[in-house]
Amino acid sequence: MRNEVQLIAYADRLGGDLAALARVVREDFAGAFGGVHVLPFFTPFDGADAGFDPVDHTAVDPRLGTWDDVRDLSRTHDTVVDLIVNHVSADSAAFQDVRARGDESPAASMFLTMSSVFPDGATEEDLARIYRPRPGLPFTPVRLGDRLRYVWTTFTPQQVDIDVRSEPGAAYLAAVLDAVASAGVSLVRLDAVGYAVKTPGTTSFMTPETFAFIEEFTAAARSRGVDVLVEVHSHYERQVEIGRSVDLVYDFALPPLVLHALYTGDPDALVDWLRARPRNAVTVLDTHDGIGVIDVGPDQTVGPGEAERPGLLTPAQIDELVEGIHARTLGASEAATGAAASNLDLYQVNSTFYDALGRDDVRYLAARVIQLCTPGIPQVYYVGALAGHNDVELLERTGVGRDVNRHSYTADEVSAALDRPVVRALLDLCRFRNALPAFDGDVEVSSEGSVLRLVRRGVQVPDAVARLEVDLSSGAVQLEWDGPSGSGRTEDLLADAPVTGPR
């Protein structure tokens, strides 16, 4: 996989379908992105959880295109797709057969129930230990055949957890992996993999059994020429641990730490993380989900009697961060977060990253250049690529909190966004990041007062160097570089895209 910036996008919200998405990436964003993470385009792409509840994970929704469209995109770009290992839609053919026939169905063992995980029954302590991203227990009563059972549903009643160790479960995942590999996909993102293995008496989240499954699945993917990206929101030490055993892991701590640094002018927590974080990371500031705060907080899975594991930020700092986001979004993020918006992912704040910085172009570009200079593969969400605002109208229409950051762009809206200096500047920064061979080595991190300094030096081209200095108190950026094509400064790179301060 090439060491270039990637775009994260829905197939239908940036052009309308897969073919239109390819045109936008190749023409409107020409040179800015070497890869595209296409969010779920399976049947149906517009289910209960925006495609993350597939009825048929091996089929492209015909409203978006075909596997040939995915192959075509893979011809010019590294293509990343989601492999949803934890669950399938309750409307899937397999689960519907189990509902009708119960244990007589060939797919019966594919789906987890409370009794299949706890065959000898569960104590209150057993149930209390289960880690879930939403309040309550992860069970939904469903009649399977002639029996009422508690089906395991980690996320919503519409998303039924599979037994990845069962014969039909393993065969199902292999079929999905074969489908994406045959389309030339470079990387699969294991969605919600931290919950994929349920082990009685544990949290059933990122246990040793989960790590073993990830290693086995990674080997199966590599045998098909596909790399693996692990998606887990958890304590920062666990992210470092995951990074040792997989191809790529998300750096979900970076977004809240960058916001904290730019809000306070204090680089300390960010500097500590930049020195400790795994280098084989995908860096993000925004995704289709919210801005994670659990990733910088204390470990939520610590059991009774176990030593606490503090986070990268203190609880007070996290409270200040969340309130800071709400204030800068003029309350839009507060309306879109938690139970207030039928969104019970309590570890995330829903907002576009641009609005979380008060629509301040200077600080927004400062955040992006920090991301682009951090080791790893940078991914930029499509709304962030266009410096998009919170879609309060969509939020009010659907009542789904994460929709505030999931605007559907028309061609005219894309064109208008591309005329904005902040968007032109960001795309130029991405092209610079792709072209200068200084970003395949480690990073030198230092700070003085409110000033953060990062230095990147090339490995394959040792004379290629990028030096970044950001005054976090003002957002002022100075980027200098030397490379095969000569030297330059920020002023040279962004000469045609002057930017402004906050609204």
Active site residues: 191, 231
The reply to whether 348 sits in an annotated binding site is yes
The reply to whether 347 sits in an annotated binding site is yes
The reply to whether 436 sits in an annotated binding site is no
Amino acid at 381: Y
Residues 6+ apart with CB under 8 A from 262: 357, 363, 366, 367, 472, 475
Token pair, residue 231, equals 């998606």
**What's the sign of the alpha-carbon dihedral 482, 484, 488, 490?**
negative
The reply to whether 10 sits in an annotated binding site is no
Q: How far apart are CA 382 and CA 5, in angstroms?
A: 12
The reply to whether 279 sits in an annotated binding site is no
Token pair, residue 420, equals 């904005």
The reply to whether 231 sits in an annotated binding site is yes
Q: Residue 487 in 3-state DSSP? A: strand
Q: What are phi and psi of 260, to 5 degrees?
A: -60, -45
The reply to whether 345 sits in an annotated binding site is yes
The reply to whether 161 sits in an annotated binding site is no
Instruction: Concatenate the DSSP letters of all residues of 90-125 into one string.
Output: TTSHHHHHHHHHGGGSTTGGGB-BHHHH-TT---HH
Name the residue among 187, 210, 214 with its Cα closest to residue 199.
210
Q: How far apart are CA 331 and CA 321, in angstroms?
A: 14
The reply to whether 189 sits in an annotated binding site is yes
CA angle 143, 148, 151 (to 5 degrees): 75
CA angle 116, 83, 258 (to 5 degrees): 110
115-to-15, 148, 200, 202, 495 alpha-carbon distances in Å = 46, 11, 11, 15, 64
Token pair, residue 181, equals 């590999």
The reply to whether 112 sits in an annotated binding site is no
CA angle 89, 176, 209 (to 5 degrees): 80
Amino acid at 419: D
Torsion from C-alpha of 390, 394, 397, 403, nearest 10 degrees = -80
Is residue 252 packed enough to be buried (19+ CB in 10 Å), middle (13-18) or exposed (0-12)? buried
The reply to whether 407 sits in an annotated binding site is no
Q: Answer for the pair 308, 370: CB distance below 8 angstroms, yes or no.
A: no
The reply to whether 49 sits in an annotated binding site is yes
118-to-122, 309, 330 alpha-carbon distances in Å = 6, 29, 47
Which residue positions form the known binding site for substrate? Answer: 49, 87, 189-191, 231, 288-289, 345-348, 402
Which residue positions form the known binding site? Answer: 49, 87, 189-191, 231, 288-289, 345-348, 402
